[in-house]
Structure 1
Amino acid sequence: MDSDLAAADRQPENHPLRTVKPERFQALKKYWDLYLIMLPGLAYFIIFKYVPMGGIIVAFQDFSAFAGIRGSEWVGLAHFKNMFTDSEFYTVFKNTLLISLYKLIWGFPGPIILALMLNEVRHMLYKRGVQTLVYLPHFLSWVIIGGILINVLSPATGIVNQFLGMLGLEPIFFLGSQEWFRTVLVVSDIWKEAGWGAIIYLAALASIDPQIYEAAVVDGAGKWKQLIHVTLPSLLGTIVILFVLRLGSVLDVGFEQIFVLYNPLVYNVADVIETYVYRTGITQGQFSFTTAVGLFKSVISLILVVLANKAARKLGQDSLW
């Protein structure tokens, strides 16, 4: 293509090769309105995602707000050394991995199961009603949900503990118990996001050719065999891509959720990298140290995405690139 264009540039104005145009410019001219719509989203990522990456240099400095980035002293990898020798960081890192792993194991299949169940509902009015109810929690902030959970799980007046009392069991301080706090985090996260996550899988289910199911029925396949041999294989590509994307945020366990719900009684099991960065960086002013922690988290996430994407390609599944 490039050689053709170069040859075209050397030809007379009326030569046939002069009519050759780069495909990218043809696409730009044909779909100019779509590219125009894309500009605000592109500007968002450039301004709020890529431009701030210049602040990474703070992780290698003894940053002072008064001296600025240019005037701050360069300390190299000193903050990374402090990070790896800080015993509190290892506790925080362990909590982050455990909570993220629990959410991945229990939370990732949630939208898939919900979508499969909704897909089997044939009464459209009932189906839409259920969809609305399961979508609704996504649009509530964690501040609102946190207030609901505090009231519902209260050891004195909460409806859950009242029910346990009716069964003759002792009340449980769910949000103050190190044994129960992570369970509350995982269950509340599934309840809030499963309905919203199911939208993508419902769209994928709607794209499956009905003739495949008809052929399966002719072959004598019941609902269970249709699920195993038709539905799940058709969803596999979508599942793999979303799983790869999920691994990219494996160390992002939800700052707002934990910040709203946790308290000093559960710091040992609830303090994660995001709350640690907030507490150390914002409240104590250790900007360079927490920038180093954030950079470490981003590098780990990038490595996980690359490895997961490579594994998906090795297995012959759809990948991000």
Structure 2
Amino acid sequence: MKSEHTRIWKGLIRDRMLYFIATPMLAYFLIFKYLPMWGVLIAFKDYSPYSGFWDSPWVGLQHFERFFSNESFFVLLRNTLAINLLNLVFFFPLPIVLSLMLNEVRKEWIKRIIQSIIYLPHFLSWVVIVGITYLMLSTSSGFVNKLLTSMGYDSIDFLTSPSMFWGLLTLQSIWKEVGWGTVIFLAAIASVDTQLFEAARMDGAGRLRQIWHVTLPAIRNVIIILLILRIGHMMDVGFEQVYLMMNGAVSDVADVFDTYVYRSGIQQAQFSFSTAVGLFKSIIGVILVVLTNRLAKKFGDEGIY
């Protein structure tokens, strides 16, 4: 035991500068991520600001029972999962494809210009993105509908059509984040041993064969890790985007857990109930990460832990 303690202390002394550099980040997670977790206790209380955190009465699983028995639960679950599944199927693969295409561009100055252009939307807020969407697709003054009417076609209610709402959210996410999503994949591709490509070329492999047999297997672990993390967020849609795009005509397909928490917790001051909904989301997210990670390891991948 003494030798173990000695080894730990020697390690701390040897790597003291690394620990010193990591201190601000550790403090950030401790103060803003772990200490606030005590707040989830109000999900099991009938919290009142007047009684305070500790003096509010315990109610057990009452808020969870109320949430699960609410008829809106299955609507929220359907909308949240549908939007995330669309993102998973159509949005997640695009940064990989785009990274592979950019990697094949041999002129560095052309690659940098393309990267700058596709990165730019990431730095725009969702307020700006939604504003652009309204300017383009508004029924009365939108550019697309004006173009359609000038060509003799009827205008289309893009923003008030429930059947188009999920697709619009997916297209917005793709336009805003697909370029930024290539950063990690391009870094992973850059770390692939060039000798593998040379060996593949000597064996007669063309560009597509090199991508399929060298590049994709080399970045497989990165893809799996990001896929696991993405599946862990299946209960999160992104409050700001959905809230700004929501209107009365599409509320049945637009209401998700995040907007429901905002409405019940902030607007209606049901703090305990909204905390229970948020805790439910978090628990499901953890379960999905654990199950997906185990499945990845079962197929021979590293996973995230």
Q: TM-score, normalised by structure 1?
A: 0.91
Which runs of structure 2 are paired with 1:136-151 in the superposition (5 Å)? 136-151=120-135
1:129, distance to aligned residue in structure 2 (A): 0.6
**Aligned residue number for residue 154 of structure 1:** 138
Counterpart of 2:112? 128
- Structure-1 separation of matches of 2:168 and 2:197: 39
2: distance between equivalents of 1:81 and 1:262?
A: 28
Distance 1:76 1:30 in 2: 48
Whether 2:36 is the aligned partner of 1:52: answer: yes
**Residues 17-96 of structure 1 aligned to structure 2 (within 5 Å):** 21-22=6-7, 24-96=8-80
The amino acid that maps onto 1:225 is R
Give the aligned residue type for 1:150: Y
Residues 170-209 of structure 1 show CA distances to partners (whole Å, capped at 9, x for unaligned) of 2122121101111110011011111111100000000111
Counterpart in the other structure of 1:293? 277
| Residue 185, structure 1, aligned to residue 148, structure 2 | no
Letter in 2 for 1:231: T
Question: For residues 163 and 315 of structure 1, what CA distance do their matches in structure 2 show?
Answer: 51
CA RMSD, Structure 1 to Structure 2 (Å): 1.4
What letter is aligned with 2:145?
Answer: N
Q: What is aligned with 1:204?
A: 188
Instruction: Confirm or deny that 1:282 pairs with 2:266.
Output: yes
Aligned pairs, how many?
A: 305
Q: Which amino acid aligns with 1:193?
A: E
2:256 matched to 1:272?
yes
Structure 1 CA distance for aligned equivalents of residues 178 and 107 of structure 2: 21
1:166 CA drift (Å): 4.8
**Is the alpha carbon distance of 1:167 and 1:122 closer, same or farther for their aligned partners in structure 2, counting shifts above 3 Å?**
farther
Structure 2 residue runs without a partner (length 5+)? none
Deviation per residue, 1:259-314 (Å, 9 max, x gap): 11111111100110000000111101111111111111111000000001111111
For 2:31 and 2:44, locate their aligned partners in 1 and report how far apart those are by CA, in whole Å.
Answer: 23
Task: Give the 3-state SS of the residue equivalent to 2:121 in structure 1.
Answer: helix
The CA deviation at 1:5 is 4.7
Does residue 214 (structure 1) correspond to residue 198 (structure 2)? The answer is: yes
Paired AA for residue 238 in structure 1:
V
Distance (Å, rounded) in 1 between the aligned partners of 2:4 and 2:202: 55
- The one-letter amino acid paired with 1:54 is W
Q: Distance in 2 between matches of 1:149 and 1:5?
A: 61
* Cross-structure match for 1:255: 239
Q: Distance in 2 between matches of 1:160 and 1:34?
A: 55
Separation of aligned partners in 1, 2:199 and 2:255? 53
Could you state the TM-score of these two structures normalised by the residue count of structure 2?
Answer: 0.96
Distance in 2, matches of 1:168 and 1:109, equals: 37
CA distance in 2, matches of 1:164, 1:216: 50
Q: Which amino acid aligns with 1:61?
A: K
Equivalent position of 1:238 in the other structure? 222
Code of the aligned partner of 2:140: A
- Secondary structure of 2:134's aligned partner: helix
User: Which residue of 2 is the match for residue 225 of structure 1?
Assistant: 209
User: By how many angstroms is 1:157 displaced?
Assistant: 2.3
Distance 1:37 1:64 in 2: 41
1:74 counterpart SS class: coil
Measured against aligned partners, the alpha-carbon deviations of 1:57-95 in whole angstroms (never above 9, x if no partner) come to 111111111101222121111111101110012211110
- For 2:251, the aligned partner's letter is Y
